[in-house]
Structure 1
């Protein structure tokens, strides 16, 4: 072996060692991300069970989503709703219990990796679960709302519902019927952030601030890091959501 070949071999071994190290680090990062994504903020069991026992609504787990339907008269309106990042879809059963009881079908999706931005499925995928619905809207909480804004451009979508969220894409020239509910104590989708993005919604959009509500009160999953403590009860926030969303949904039909 010549003296010139030995340094070349050493460089080759070092390069291979670096490559293996990079692959290992990337693999560990990927595994760590998957573990992180699959650890969700669980829904409140008591609140969810109360909805299951409510004879005004029916609850169906369709595999890719959870569907709330009125057992009484339907208004023909449905909402495909995207959960916040890493929030259990069942955490929104109690949020929409009264809305479904009033006649609106709500399809709560189970996002890919529990993050709406990784879910590339179309609205039609979820709308197929309720063929009796004649008018569809899309909505979401937090990061789910940001993704809902993107899906709202789907032809045939009549409305957009934002709970503690705001758009990143411009919908100001659209004909969407928009309802945005935010909390004055929200520490994540803060009033300042919601206000700064208001120009991305149509002028006709309805914006309602629930005084004293925080970010986590748009679902039932306990406290959330970075949030501010609410100064009103969860029951109060639920009543406001039910009244506002039920009225908005009925106007779409």
Structure 2
């Protein structure tokens, strides 16, 4: 009788071991899958725009590991932007985009290096990046595509929010934070319709600027992107519009 009563216990233990082993296998496969996905198809900078930016005597480029700090060699205004790249785009792919903003307008830009090349897997606070430029007195946070979604999550710690071909997944409508949304008319990923549909997540006084002829990849210098529209705007013109809009928007003390 005792032997019969004890029989279910081994079965329960075996079932528990099998269940735990199965869960462990699923977790391992999930982690491996994410690691592979994050490293395959990573988009690097186009060599010519990057080389031109690196040769600009008015632009200082310092790689701090956590991010790339772009600062003017003269005329810094004390304004700063922490910029979070889009998914699987290297930080260097945005250096050329912000050269005009830094050199002509004296803004310091910190381009982050998200963990696993995906902003959603980077839990670091905004201070990790603002600490890289202690002389800056006011900070906006912004990002491109998925990086913009992450920027929305960090917006409460910033003085302003800038979305580059992106939109928020969290509700900032009552936050009172100044918001600038820059988008492209030919964007095939963060389409004009998606930008419009997510408008309610932002404060009512958010500024929306659609750049004619700009595609999703027009907000960086890393080449064409799968699923995107066909840009008709000259890249230099898109960069100029970005710099112009940031100059009129970024807060200062």
Deviations 1:163-205 (A, max 9, x none): 0001111212223221110001111111011011112212221
Q: 1:186 to 1:20 in 2, by over 3 A?
A: same
* Equivalent runs, 1:28-39 vs 2, <5 Å: 28-39=29-40
> Could you tell me the TM-score, scaled by structure 1's length?
0.89
Q: Is the 8 A contact 2:137 2:252 kept in 1?
A: no
- 1:230 corresponds to 2:231: yes
Give the Cα–Cα distance (whole angstroms) in 1 for the partners of residues 85 and 38 of structure 2. 14
Q: 1:194 to 1:24 in 2, by over 3 A?
A: same
Please name the residue that 2:65 is paired with.
63
Residue 147 (structure 2) aligned to one of 137, 144, 147: 144
The alignment of Structure 1 onto Structure 2 pairs a total of residues equal to 249
Please name the residue that 1:126 is paired with.
129
Give the Cα–Cα distance (whole angstroms) in 1 for the partners of residues 98 and 137 of structure 2. 19
Shift of 1:11: 10
Give the Cα–Cα distance (whole angstroms) in 1 for the partners of residues 63 and 93 of structure 2. 13
Q: 1:158 to 1:9 in 2, by over 3 A?
A: closer
* Equivalent runs, 1:43-62 vs 2, <5 Å: 43-62=45-64
Deviations 1:73-108 (A, max 9, x none): 111111111111111111010111101111000000
Please name the residue that 1:93 is paired with.
95
Shift of 1:148: 0.5
* Equivalent runs, 1:197-208 vs 2, <5 Å: 197-208=198-209
- 1:217 corresponds to 2:218: yes
Q: Is the 8 A contact 1:159 1:252 kept in 2?
A: no
Q: 1:149 to 1:17 in 2, by over 3 A?
A: closer
Give the Cα–Cα distance (whole angstroms) in 1 for the partners of residues 87 and 232 of structure 2. 24
Please name the residue that 1:252 is paired with.
252
Please tell me the root mean square deviation across aligned C-alpha atoms, in Å: 2.3
SS of the equivalent of 1:166 reads coil
Q: 1:14 to 1:177 in 2, by over 3 A?
A: closer
Q: Is the 8 A contact 2:46 2:93 kept in 1?
A: yes
- Unaligned segments of structure 2, at least 5 residues: 4-8
